[in-house]
Amino acid sequence: MKYTNSIEIALPREKVAQLLADPAHLPMWLRGMVLHEPVNGKHGQVGTKSRVVLQSGKRKIECTETITRRDPADLHGIPKEIVVHFDRETVGAGMSSVVRDRLTEASPETTLWESESEFQFSGLLMRLMGRLMPSAFHKQSQQHMQDFKAFAEQGKDVREGKG
């Protein structure tokens, strides 16, 4: 299953890239984030593997995330014609995904965030869920992007409904 989401954020691209790359901010906009810790490597660097734990209702989901691309590596002073790329692979029980995020300067004060997601499922239950509920994955990805936008632009924290 493959889909693409996009959203415009009313902040300069360099600021958006810095906020997305900082793991300290993840719980503020990624609903259900319990833990995101490197198993090897350094947060956000290519090749780093991290243990990720998410809470969904009473269910905890644990997976491993590997950063496969971060281009450019230095997020300061990026020329406007350069597209910022953050790619990662995530593997968990019954599924794996590849997410390719692109940040483009829409204007000096606006960033276009495009996110391409590709999921593969294993096991009967997960394959069935992927076939019967593909829109649920797409909607959840869009919700994450909307939550990030609210966090970045207004300081809203999904854990407390603050801003």
Q: Which two tokens stand for residue 55?
A: 């809470």
For the entire predicted model, the pTM comes to: 0.87
Predicted pLDDT at 147: 96
* CATH class in words for 2-154: alpha beta
Phi, psi of 71 (to 5 degrees): -140, 120
Predicted pLDDT at 137: 80
Q: Domain spans of the chain?
A: 2-154
Between the CA atoms of 120, 48, 149 and 54, what dihedral angle is there, to the nearest 10 degrees?
60
Element (H, E) at 26: helix 26-29
Alpha carbon distance 103, 9 (integer Å): 10
Predicted confidence pLDDT, tens digits, the chain (163 residues): 899 999 999 999 999 998 998 888 999 999 999 999 999 998 888 999 999 999 888 889 899 999 999 988 777 777 778 889 999 999 998 889 999 999 999 999 999 999 999 988 887 766 666 666 767 788 989 999 999 999 999 999 998 864 4
